[in-house]
Amino acid sequence: MLRPIRASKFARAFKALSLESNQELLMKMKTALSLIATVAAAMVAQGAYAQASAPSRADVKAETKAAVKEGKTTPAGEATPAAPAAKSTKARADVKAETKTAVKEGKTAPAGDAAAAPAAAASKSDKARADVKAETKAAVKEGKTTPAGEAAAKK
């Protein structure tokens, strides 16, 4: 069975405990406040240093204007600076004639597909259009073609 604690002993114990915890609380508050003050002072000093070393708006505008004049800026929407244009040693008429013959021979890539140039030359058919149409019509009748909108079956 528990014995009741006298009021005076309890009061003394609580008073000692509360004094001790109050002192600890005050010390922790002082430490926290001094830490906050130190961090705030460092941030203010850093901001002042950054403003002192940064160029003025007028300086930046002047530098940008000079770079635009010299052609050193990147065009809007492009990620990398434009390479300087290479000077050609051929006349314009010669280049046009070469391109025309390359197109006739099938050596050029389709528009917008630079990697497909060799494949385009290899995919030339030796069959007439009417023959290809007849083959396709026969395959449809036999049910060998894949219906529109369905994926082809894996072999």
Residue 119 has pLDDT above 60, yes or no: no
- Is residue 32 domain-resident? yes
In a domain, 57, yes or no: no
pTM above 0.85, yes or no: no
Residues 38-61: tens digit of each pLDDT: 988 888 877 766 666 677 889 889
The domain of 43 spans 1-52
Indicate whether 96 belongs to any domain.
no
Considering the chain, what percentage of its residues have pLDDT values greater than 70?
Answer: 68
Which residues are within 8 A (CB) of 131 and not within 5 positions of it... i.e. 6 or more apart? none
Residue 44 lies in a domain: yes
Position 42 in a domain: yes
Share the mean pLDDT of the chain. Answer: 78
Q: How many structural domains are present in the chain? A: 1
Using pLDDT thresholds of 50, 70 and 90, give the confidence band for residue 95: very high
Which pLDDT score is estimated for 138? 95
